[in-house]
A and B are shown apart, each in its own frame.
Chain A
Amino acid sequence: MITADETGRAATQTPLTGRAQRTWFQETLRRFARNRGAVVALVILVLIALALILARLLAPYSPINPDIANVAMAPSRAHLLGTDAIGRDILSRILYGGRLTVVVGLLAIAIAGGVGLPIGMIAGFYGGFTDRVISRLMDIMLAFPGILLALSVVAVLGSSVVNATIAVGISLIPGFVRLVRGSYLSTKENVYVDAARVIGVGDVRIMVKHILPNVLAPIMVLATVATGWAIIIGASLSFLGLGVQAPTPEWGTDLAQGRQWIETAWWMTTFPGLAILVVILALNLVGDGLRDALDPRLRNR
């Protein structure tokens, strides 16, 4: 996992312009490609994404129709990953269930980023009083532990995927704000920003067109890693009985529901758990690779 501290470092880059950008991009790509772990992780993520998209073709059974003649069957040729407590094929549930898990993770990040990015920009770019107010607001949000916040939202608004996603997204906002703010603080003094200002470019344009591309890298890194957090918080909500509604397959829910069988039917928890683990592991490795590839100091060495 990467903390804001670490990712913040990648923020200080040289300005990008036409041709230089391409070479910078190529350079980054080259460096990323050298990181074997990250490349393998990326390939795994792509394969998983493909599998989830093609679930309809790949899944051998319906993910929701129970089969009471085959309850809690160990992995076999008929059911490669076994069956769950009401006889559903676990492989099929994982293939379909990943869609929701991943979508919830991505949407939560979209919410956190969508809200956090502009707020962080404004705080970092303008500084001063605005910054202080925003920073205090973020301190207030940080004071509410993520899961507790998510739990409260779901308890109050009712348990649904949408509410859970919003709740998880909200709890991740301060992280984005802090990171973006830090990046903007350190970038806005750069020569090219001054130059843009001198020729009369407006604030919004400077923030979006001139600074944003330069601070996108750490944000991408954080987004990669935070998707993993979102998936884990979602799984925890499922564990506490506030996850998706039956019979919708979802990794966290399946892992949580299988826990009563952890000893008597290990496959019910092991496979959904592994699915979560592999995706988050891969996300982190890709995040690492991105960070290393984008870190200018490493580049200079």
Chain B
Amino acid sequence: MSDCDCGGGGGPARRELSRRSLLRGAAGLSIIGATSALLAACGGSSGGTATSSTSSGSSSGASTSQAGTSASPASGSSAQGAAKSGGTLTFGAWQDADTLDPHTTGLAATSRILIQIYDPLVWLNPKDSQYYPGLAQKWEVSSDGTQYTFHLRNDVKFHNGEAFSSASVKFSYDRIFDPATKSLALSLLGPYTRTDTPDPNTATVVFSQPYAPFLSYIGVILSMRPVSAKAYQDLGADVNVHPIGTGPFMYKEYVKADHFTMVRNPDYNWAPSFRAHKGQAYLDQVVWKIIPEPGTRVASLQSGQTNAIEVVPPQNVLQLQQQKDKYYIQNSETPGQPYMFLINTQKAPTDELAVRQACVMATDQDSIVKAVYQGVYKPSHNLMEPLTPCYAKDIEQYFQFDLKKAGQTLDSAGWTMGSDGIRTKNGQKLQIVNIVNTANDFNRISELMQATYKQIGIDMTIQNESQPSVFSTYNKGPQNFADFFFWDPSPDQLRATYGSENIATGFNWSHFNNPDFDKLVNQAATETDTTKACDLYHQAQVILGQQAAAIPIYEKDATIVVQNKIKDLAYDPNPYPYFFDTSISG
């Protein structure tokens, strides 16, 4: 599993990955065996090799749609040699950071900022899903899989002048490992024992047992990027508001709930080889402007106050893509689980299979998504998105709209239609509670479902609750429906979402407790043969489909709208914008 975003939301709304929840969900990671080798083959990636990829195929689709007719600012096109240095880019973000300490953050919103400030030991390239040297020039894994040795660059400095060395690596991992830090990344270190530093340029991370996913976490997760030990001594509690890393941009100013300003790091010369250029970043400065209200964020782009915005309401995407002379739209398809409702399998009346099946069959994804997102997003009938390793198209058979059959299913299960249009059984009304995360845009989808459900005698109540408290609510389980999505390049996410160990604190908001399923996903996580692993995951998905544990709605995309003069705003392995190659023309 890697970075996830759960609970995020709909069209206009959030594709937010709550890192916090993600990590809670990752609690059981130590079970995972050789996941990384496995995934490449599963995913059908074109370029990935079995030795190096976690997220095969992931984000191969950072694509530019609707580029301007002239001067198309195609993403991913290398910097045309004409990229100009200088200028300030203002980015309209939808959420503030929780803390700026990469070890304790719980939000993807924070990761979006801090990936510009911190570098990983090893990069995962979104384009070819290969690992590339970062702060480590080379690395090797011991034959028993318990020791990772990193040979570090010797020319890297932190923004505060401290030299980057093996001591920095040791400090970083020891700090995450220290329970007093309360790091949400703790579980990602798995069976961590210690970090050895035989010399300043060599760091060996030692685990008590084989730990295969480590490299993939290093490649993707912000918290695993080295921090400056000196900063933690100098700043004290201010580390929460003053990040110091080795990245292409440096902290300049942070005003809570308003903006985070970063400036170019003049010393930066250690960009990975897959970037379009070497040396420093082009931009002088990036202002990360926090504008949570969607309409205001769109207005900020139109008024020129921001150069690019994220999480754009679909109706505005349609409006802005008409203006090809001004803006282009960047989409990035991502691996993971689509936007969906997780059905609580332990709360009446959805503890009954027939009710869950009826809910699934009474959901008309195609019409709903067409109405709500007007073609900007695609409906989903699957538990995973196409770019995810072990994606299986035949799972779609379990998630097809059939209102008549839904009614029949309820009839034969003994739910009889009452005079008020609501079915009853044993004196119990067929009423379900849908708790909607206000950070998402699930309200309209829910209302459309509510209307259809009513036709077959299901009375659905919609309640709103905001994050992060809604996550705790989902774990406690007063809801029948929880809205959900997940960004993750590994099929092991199925365990995070439906594994019984993740009911109390993880993402198992379905409260799904199925020993057969648990057995399959646990076995799959240690299976080194990718074909066999995918077969196990397939069996697991069949169980989920038969048990009607979720209702997929639509495939999430990361969408940002960018002014034409901004060139090469690329996505990182996480579907987050990365500003190193970005420049301003004209």
Contact = CB atoms under 8 A, between A and B. Distances in A.
Verify whether A and B have any Cβ pair under 8 Å: yes
B12 A68 contact: no
Contacts of B448: 66, 68, 86
Given A66-B451, A265-B315, A86 B444 contact: yes
B313 A260 contact: yes
Interface stretch (B261-269, B342-350, B461-469, B535-543): B461-469
Interface in A235-266: 241-242, 245-247, 257, 259-265
B550 interface: no
Contact of B447 (A86, A159, A242): A86
Interface in B275-326: 294-295, 298-299, 313, 315-316, 318-319
Contact of A260 (B295, B318, B447, B462): B295
Given A68-B367, A159-B464, A246 B315 contact: no
B446 interface: yes
Interface in B346-385: 367-368, 370-372, 374
Interface string B440-476: 0001101110110000000001111010000000000
A105 to B, nearest CB: 22
A259 B295 contact: yes
A247 B451 contact: yes
B438 interface: yes
B450 A246 contact: yes
A246 B450 CA distance: 9
Interface in A51-80: 64-66, 68, 71-72
A85 B372 contact: yes
Nearest to B296: A259
Nearest to B293: A259
A296 interface: no
Contact of B316 (A66, A68, A242, A263): A263
Interface residues of B, number: 29
A71 B316 contact: no
A238 to B, nearest CB: 11
A87 interface: yes
Contacts of B294: 260
Nearest to A262: B295
Q: Say what secondary structure dominates the interface of chain B.
A: helix
Contact of A66 (B295, B319, B447, B464): B447
B463 A159 contact: yes
A294 to B, nearest CB: 43
Nearest to A257: B443
A85 B371 CA distance: 8
A247 B447 contact: yes
B109 to A, nearest CB: 19
A85 B313 CA distance: 12
B309 to A, nearest CB: 13
A146 B270 CA distance: 55
Contacts of B461: 245
Contact of A86 (B295, B371, B463): B371
A287 B438 CA distance: 38
A245 B374 contact: no
Contact of A246 (B313, B438, B446): B446
B319 A263 contact: yes
Nearest to B369: A68
Contacts of A242: 464
B295 A87 contact: no
Contacts of A64: 451
A71 B448 CA distance: 12
A281 to B, nearest CB: 25
A265 B374 CA distance: 14
Contact of A65 (B12, B316, B368, B451): B451
A242 B438 CA distance: 10
A68 B462 contact: no
B447 to A, nearest CB: 5
Contacts of A257: 443
Given A86-B444, A246-B446, A265-B315, A260 B12 contact: yes
A263 B295 contact: yes
Nearest to B313: A260
B463 A72 contact: no
A68 B379 CA distance: 15
Interface string A86-106: 110000000000000000000
Contacts of B447: 66, 86, 246-247
Contacts of B463: 159, 245
A190 B12 CA distance: 64
Nearest to B446: A246
Interface in A204-256: 241-242, 245-247
B99 to A, nearest CB: 24
Contact of B319 (A71, A245, A246, A264): A264
A264 B299 CA distance: 12
Contact of B315 (A66, A72, A247): A72
A197 B464 CA distance: 56
B451 A264 contact: no
A296 to B, nearest CB: 49
B462 A246 contact: yes
Interface of A: 64-66, 68, 71-72, 85-87, 159, 241-242, 245-247, 257, 259-265
22 contacts: A66-B371, A66-B447, A68-B367, A68-B370, A68-B371, A71-B371, A71-B374, A86-B444, A87-B371, A242-B464, A245-B461, A245-B463, A247-B447, A247-B451, A247-B462, A260-B295, A260-B313, A261-B315, A263-B298, A263-B299, A264-B318, A264-B319
For the complex of A and B, 4 pairs with smallest distance between CB atoms:
A68-B371, A264-B315, A246-B462, A71-B371
Given A66-B371, A245-B462, A247-B451, 20 more contacts: A64-B451, A66-B447, A66-B451, A68-B367, A68-B448, A85-B372, A86-B447, A87-B371, A159-B463, A241-B438, A241-B464, A245-B461, A246-B447, A247-B462, A260-B315, A263-B295, A263-B298, A264-B315, A264-B318, A265-B315
